[in-house]
Amino acid sequence: MISLLRDGEVTTADLIDASLQRMDQVEPHVNAVVTRCPDRARAMPAAHDNLLAGLPIGIKDLTAVEGVRTTLGTRGMADHVPSVSDPLVARLEERGGVVLGKTNTPELGAGANTFNAVFGATRNPWDIRMNAAGSSGGAAVSLATGELWLSHGSDFGGSLRSPANYCGIVGLRPSPGIAGGSSAHLGFTTGGVEGPMARDVLDCALFLDAMAGFDPIWPISFPAPDTPYLETAKRDAGSIRIAYTPDFNGFAAVTTEIDDVLRGALERLRLPSVTVEEHCPHLPRLDETFRALRCLSFLGSYQVTPDSISMHYKDTIKGNLADAHAMSFDDYVQAERDRATIYNSMAMFFKTHDVLACPVNGLAPLPVEIEFPTEVAGRPMRDYIDWLQFAFLATVAGLPALSLPVGFTRSGMPVGLQLIGPPRGEARLLQVAHTLEQALNLPVTLIDPIVR
């Protein structure tokens, strides 16, 4: 589509019209793009010579877009219209992206089921009775249904990966600093990152190229690679060494159904250039470390949030804040030591492997009315964080991680394989993912919302 834009065979206006028409068709069923801004999009200057060439994109409703309602999914900000765009949005627009809408998110991005008191629930287009995960659920659905070509998301506890898994698209959590940074008042934190979502790996690489690059506005900003991610992803990956773990040494729960789908996909990848073994590095105190980092992030944001906003928070967020207040300084220091131990274990692992493969989520989507599962594979879940344990490692160790569609459940719901790459290893991770995507040869599907 970008080639067609550059050649003048289609215009941005054509694509805006097509996108809006598709939204009209599917939004009543899925509720993914909750705020549209067509007038603003049409007023954007021509950008054919830039990377995205005037392609319409979506921005998650946690991220400010100048002049466009940005609610963070919370009642206290239901009418908020920012006067300045987030720096990453400004970068995407400078590089030819045309923001056409804001995609739905759970309140403050907290919770892996996309619903909030402002816009309601987003539904999974593969079965609209089911949830689309979160927190970038609206973004994933907008891609799966063909409402947008590329859609932006963010991730602390799997929010780029879980929705991609449940909706059959590709979501990449980059290393911290690759695609912008954290919020202005928590600029040195590395738990929450922004990143790209797309329908296939090469589109995801292209979108990451549009996001990447050093900017001193972000304290941990990291330079873009000399060779664009898209170009590297297209190259021959050579020998690929994969380690698969179904449960992180018993740490995370997974159903037999999900494990079977993933093992079946890996079995089909037993090519001369690909080796697969079952192995997992030592990951001590992963749960305690992730929870401490998350508490620190919540408390850091809450301290600068007016009461007029925080008074509306849902019970699970209030519980997160209570957990944060209950932690001690010693707890946070211990988490930093544990984090270093986990990182060092992974660094040793990547001396002999290219990626660590594992589930994205341990079970298939649940009905949209269920906020989170109370058990997975017979193991009780203490809270809504427990069922996201497969997301913890990449966040704690600051590693890039990608959800790649690899198959379907017996009921026809998509299943993704999580691929975790080496530190600052986005290029190699995308290259490996593209090779596996080609080998599996799954069709890229635009789904009309259905009930199975």
β-bridge partners, 418: 358, 403
Q: Are the beta carbons of 401 and 425 closer than 8 angstroms? A: no
Residue 330 has a pLDDT of 96
DSSP annotation string for 342-411: HHHHHHHHTTT-SEEEEESSSS---BTT-SS-SEETTEEPSSTTGGGGGGHHHHHHT--EEEEEEEE-TT
State the residue for tokens 């830039």.
Answer: 50
Q: Say how far apart CA 273 and CA 450 lie, in whole Å.
A: 39
DSSP class of residue 223 equals P
| The two structure tokens encoding residue 27 | 């939004």
Place of tokens 């992803």: 233
pLDDT beneath 50: ranges in the chain? none
Of 103, 143, 150, the C-alpha closest to 2 is 150
Q: What is the pLDDT of residue 154?
A: 97
Whether the Cβ atoms of residue 291 and residue 384 lie closer than 8 Å to each other: no
Question: Which neighbouring-strand residues pair with 419?
Answer: 357, 402
Per-residue pLDDT of 285-339, as tens digits, reads: 999 999 999 999 988 888 888 888 888 888 888 888 899 999 999 999 999 999 9
CA distance 189 to 187: 6
Count of CB atoms situated within 10 Å of the CB of 262: 23
Cβ neighbours for 390, distance < 8 A, ≥ 6 positions apart: 158, 248, 252, 254, 358, 359, 360, 361, 362, 418
Contacts of 435 (CB under 8 A, 6+ apart): 237, 240, 273, 274
Euclidean distance between CA atoms 79 and 232, whole angstroms: 43
What is the Cα–Cα distance from 360 to 63, expressed in whole angstroms? 24
Over the stretch 401-438, which tens digit does the pLDDT of each residue have? 999 999 999 999 999 999 999 999 999 999 999 999 99
Query: What is the spatial distance between Cα 226 and Cα 229, in angstroms, rounded to a whole number?
Result: 9
Burial environment of residue 29 by CB neighbours within 10 A (0 to 12, 13 to 18, 19 or more): middle
What number of other Cβ atoms are within 10 A of residue 122's Cβ? 34
Can you give the pLDDT at residue 214?
A: 96
pLDDT at 199: 98
Contact 289, 396 (CB under 8 A): yes
Q: What is the pLDDT of residue 393?
A: 98
Concatenated DSSP letters for 247-284?
Answer: STTTTS---HHHHHHHHHHHHHT--TTEEEEE-----T
Could you give the angle at which helices 315-326 and 286-302 cross, rounded to 10 degrees? 110
**Distance of alpha carbon 434 from alpha carbon 358, whole angstroms:** 17
HSE toward the beta carbon, residue 57, CA cutoff 13 A:
35
Q: Kindly report the number of other CB atoms within 10 A of residue 355's CB atom.
A: 28
Give the model's pLDDT for residue 298: 84
Q: What is the largest CA-CA distance in the chain?
A: 61
Q: How far apart, in whole angstroms, are the C-alpha atoms of residue 184 and residue 303? A: 14
